[in-house]
C-alpha cells in the first residue's frame, strides 16, 4: 500500500479558490477506491462489532458482572473511535485534506487521544482482572467487585479525557515548535505537532499499560498451563479412559494460550509501531513521511476493530448473545433472562 501512497498521480490544492490552501495529493481511481474500502471496512467493523458487545452486556442480565462491565466500557471506547475518529480520518488519509472545519479538527484530535488511550487502559485493567481470576479463583468474586470495576472504568476515562483535552487546548504540545506549526498551518490541514517533552509523556502513558499487559498475560499463560497439567496428571491416575479427557484439557490449554497470545500480539502490532515512530520522529526533527504516519495511525485504529473479536467473540456466551441480537430474538419478552451459559 505504501507504494501507491508514495506515488501521487497529481498535485493540487485542497481549496483552489482560497489563498494559503494546503497542497492536496490525488491518487488514481484504483488506489483511491481501495483505500476508501479498507478504511471504510475498518470503521464499519469497529462500530458494529463494539455495538454488539455493548448491547450484549447491557441487555442480558446473566452478563451483568464487574468484569463484563469493564468489557462493555472498553467496547464503548472502541465504538467511539469508530464513530468520531475513523470516518473523518478516512477522508483525511485518502484526500490528504481536512474538510470538516478548524474547530472540529481540534476536537477530532482530542477524541482520537481520549478514546484511544481509554481503550489501551481498559485493556490493561482487563488483563489484571483475568490475572486475579486465574490466580485467586476462589476469592476472585470478593477481590474484583463492582466498585473495583467502576474505579478501573472511571480511571481509564478520566485520565484519557483530561490529559488529551488539557494538552491540546492549553497549547502545551506546541511549545518550542512555533516555527514548525506556522509552516504547517494552511487551509484544509489538520496536523497536531507535539514537542519532545510531551511525546515522551505520551510514550510513557503507553509503555506503562503495555508492560503491565505483557507481564500479566505471561503469568496468566504460565498459570493456566500449569493448572492444565495438574488436572491432566490427576485425571490420568483415576481412569485409563482419561485420554479423551486429556485431549479436552489440551484443547482448552491451546485455546487459552491462543487467546492470550492473540490479545498481546494484536495490541503490540497495532500500537507499538505508532508510539515508537512518534518518539523517534520527535527527536529526529519530524522526518516521517506523511503516508508512513497514516499507515501507522491506521494500524493503531484497527486495534479497536479487533478488540471485540478477541475479548468478546472468543467466548461462547457472547457468541450466543450476538446470535440472538442479529436474529431479532432479543426483542422478545423476557429475552434478557435467557440462559447464555447453557450447553
- The full DSSP string for 24-46 is EEE--HHHHHHHHHHHHHHHHHH
Strands (DSSP E) along the chain, which ranges?
10-13, 23-26
* Distance from C-alpha of 103 to C-alpha of 4, rounded to nearest angstrom: 31
CA nearest 189: which of 285, 92, 281, 113? Answer: 92
For residue 11, the model assigns a pLDDT of 54
Instruction: Say if CB 97 and CB 90 are below 8 A apart.
Output: no
- For the chain, give percent helix, strand, coil, nearest 5: 75, 5, 20
Start-to-end Cα distance in the chain? 45
For residue 70, the model assigns a pLDDT of 93
Adjacent-strand bridge partners of 24: 12
Instruction: Say if CB 127 and CB 216 are below 8 A apart.
Output: yes
Other CB atoms within 10 Å distance of the CB of residue 151: 12
* Distance from C-alpha of 162 to C-alpha of 31, rounded to nearest angstrom: 38
The CATH superfamily holding the domain 2-337 is Rhodopsin 7-helix transmembrane proteins (1.20.1070.10)
* Cβ-count burial 113-144 (b if 16+ within 10 Å, e if not): bbbbbbbbbbbbbbbbbbbbebeeeeebeeeb
**6-20, 100-114, 132-146: range with lowest mean pLDDT:** 6-20
Read off the pTM: 0.87
Indicate if the pLDDT at residue 300 is higher than 60.
yes
* Distance from C-alpha of 323 to C-alpha of 338, rounded to nearest angstrom: 12
For residue 5, the model assigns a pLDDT of 46
Instruction: Say if CB 266 and CB 306 are below 8 A apart.
Output: yes
Indicate if the pLDDT at residue 239 is higher than 60.
no
3-state class (DSSP) for residue 230: helix
Adjacent-strand bridge partners of 21: 187
Mean pLDDT across the stretch 107-134? Answer: 92
How does residue 8 score in pLDDT terms, banded at 50, 70 and 90? Answer: very low
pLDDT digits (tens, 9 = 90+) for 198-222: 999 999 999 999 999 999 888 888 8
CA nearest 164: which of 232, 110, 99, 122? Answer: 110
Average model confidence (pLDDT) across the chain: 85
Indicate if the pLDDT at residue 261 is higher than 80.
no
Q: Which helix (H) or strand (E) holds 337?
A: none
Indicate if the pLDDT at residue 2 is higher than 90.
no
Amino acid at each position: 500500500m505504501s507504494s501507491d501512497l508514495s506515488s501521487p498521480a497529481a498535485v493540487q490544492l485542497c481549496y483552489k479558490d482560497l489563498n494559503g490552501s494546503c497542497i492536496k495529493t490525488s491518487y488514481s481511481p484504483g488506489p483511491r477506491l481501495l483505500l476508501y474500502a479498507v478504511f471504510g471496512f475498518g470503521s464499519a467493523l469497529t462500530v458494529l462489532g463494539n455495538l454488539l458487545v455493548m448491547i450484549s452486556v447491557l441487555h442480558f442480565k446473566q452478563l451483568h458482572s464487574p468484569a463484563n462491565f469493564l468489557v462493555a466500557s472498553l467496547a464503548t471506547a472502541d465504538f467511539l473511535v469508530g464513530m468520531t475518529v475513523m470516518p473523518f480520518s478516512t477522508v483525511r488519509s485518502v484526500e490528504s485534506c481536512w474538510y470538516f472545519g478548524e474547530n472540529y479538527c481540534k476536537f477530532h484530535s482530542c477524541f482520537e487521544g481520549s478514546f484511544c488511550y481509554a481503550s489501551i487502559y481498559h485493556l490493561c485493567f482487563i488483563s489484571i482482572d483475568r490475572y486475579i481470576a486465574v490466580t485467586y479463583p476462589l476469592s476472585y468474586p470478593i477481590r474484583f467487585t463492582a466498585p473495583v470495576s467502576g474505579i478501573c472504568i472511571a480511571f481509564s476515562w478520566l485520565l484519557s479525557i483530561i490529559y488529551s483535552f488539557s494538552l491540546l487546548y492549553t497549547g502545551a504540545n506546541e511549545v518550542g515548535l512555533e516555527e514548525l506549526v506556522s509552516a504547517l498551518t494552511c487551509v484544509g490541514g489538520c496536523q497536531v505537532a507535539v514537542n519532545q517533552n510531551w511525546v515522551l509523556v505520551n510514550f510513557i502513558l503507553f509503555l506503562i499499560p503495555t508492560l503491565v499487559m505483557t507481564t500479566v498475560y505471561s503469568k496468566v499463560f504460565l498459570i493456566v498451563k500449569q493448572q492444565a497439567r495438574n488436572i491432566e496428571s490427576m485425571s490420568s491416575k483415576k481412569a485409563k479412559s482419561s485420554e479423551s479427557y486429556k485431549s479436552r484439557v489440551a484443547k482448552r490449554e491451546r485455546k487459552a494460550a491462543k487467546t492470550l497470545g492473540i490479545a498481546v500480539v494484536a495490541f503490540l502490532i497495532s500500537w507499538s509501531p505508532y508510539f515508537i515512530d512518534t518518539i523517534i520522529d520527535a527527536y529526529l526533527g519530524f522526518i516521517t513521511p506523511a503516508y508512513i504516519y497514516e499507515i501507522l495511525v491506521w494500524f493503531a485504529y484497527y486495534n479497536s476493530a479487533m478488540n471485540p473479536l478477541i475479548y468478546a467473540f472468543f467466548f461462547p456466551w457472547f457468541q450466543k448473545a450476538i446470535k440472538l441480537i442479529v436474529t431479532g430474538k432479543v426483542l422478545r419478552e423476557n429475552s434478557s433472562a435467557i440462559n447464555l451459559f447453557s450447553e
